Amino acid sequence: MTQDAVTPYFTRADGSYLFARWGRPIAPVVFGVEDATVSIVKGALEAIVALAGHQMAETDPELGANFMVFFIRDWDEVLATPNMDRLLPDLAEIIARLKSIDANQYRAFRFDADGGIKAAFVFVRMDADLSRLPADTIALSQAVQTILLWSDQAFPGQSPLAAGTDGAARLKPEIAAIIRAGYDPVMPVCAQDSTHGLRMAARVAVLEHRN
């Protein structure tokens, strides 16, 4: 995997480069679904965290839960949820924009002083398209897209998942390689220079050689 292959995953629409990974263990909580689906979501997240070599936790000492997943039917549900504006500043503007583009998912992040991810808020609107997908596919997709701060241009036209020979969703090998490289201890928790893409490509090569 070359620098040119890696860099676009962290190059935003305005041309800036921004990479970040979680700087603390992930403590998840899931709202809006039955217990069986909660287990699926947490299981998918555990699998991606294990791939990254990161850690899970029951609680975050500062925030309690730092990875919140909300399953909703309509964006207006978010507006009606008490105290949601404390999690998402400019909530009304965000919801208006999501409704205007008929979005079915949204992720917001918070960061530590060193730039590492300290919290993520994931909203999944179960529209007709998502309702046709298995719960484990939705869960895996959201876990992958939240384990790193990917570019806003990384996945709109493509999924990080692909169908396996059995028809089940699998993480694409190149995405798995980037996640492993991003969490390698020698790599920074946050980077804003595109030369980081070169370092990432080099780590992918090293880790693949080890395997």
Tokens of 40: 């699926």
pLDDT > 70 in the chain, percent: 99
- What is the reported pLDDT for 93? 96
pLDDT > 90 in the chain, percent: 85
Average pLDDT, the chain: 94
Handedness of CA 64, 68, 71, 75 (dihedral sign): positive
Using DSSP's 3-state secondary structure scheme, residue 190 falls into strand
Residue 207 binned pLDDT confidence (cut-offs 50, 70, 90):
confident
The answer to whether the CB of 100 falls within 8 A of the CB of 135 is no
Handedness of CA 42, 44, 47, 51 (dihedral sign): negative
Class of residue 195 by CB neighbours under 10 A (exposed 0-12, middle 13-18, buried 19+): exposed
- What is the reported pLDDT for 52? 97
Place of tokens 């790193």: 148
Class of residue 200 by CB neighbours under 10 A (exposed 0-12, middle 13-18, buried 19+): buried
Residue 24 binned pLDDT confidence (cut-offs 50, 70, 90):
very high
Q: For 26, which DSSP code?
A: B
- What is the reported pLDDT for 54? 98
Helix pair 173-182, 135-147: axis angle to 10 deg: 40
- What is the reported pLDDT for 211? 60
Tokens of 63: 């925030």
- What is the reported pLDDT for 122? 97
Rg (CA), the chain: 17
Q: Which residues of 20-45 are buried (b: 16+ CB within 10 A; e: fewer)?
A: bbbbbbbbbebebbeeebbebbbebb
Task: Output 188-191 pairs: Cβ under 8 A, ≥24 positions apart.
Answer: 188/19, 189/20, 189/21, 189/23, 189/114, 189/115, 189/116, 190/18, 190/19, 190/20, 190/21, 190/111, 190/114, 190/115, 190/116, 191/10, 191/17, 191/18, 191/19, 191/20
pLDDT digits (tens, 9 = 90+) for 145-170: 999 999 999 997 788 999 877 778 89
Contacts of residue 87, Cβ cutoff 8 Å, sequence gap at least 6? 68, 108, 121
pLDDT digits (tens, 9 = 90+) for 37-87: 999 999 999 999 999 999 999 999 999 999 999 999 999 999 999 989 888
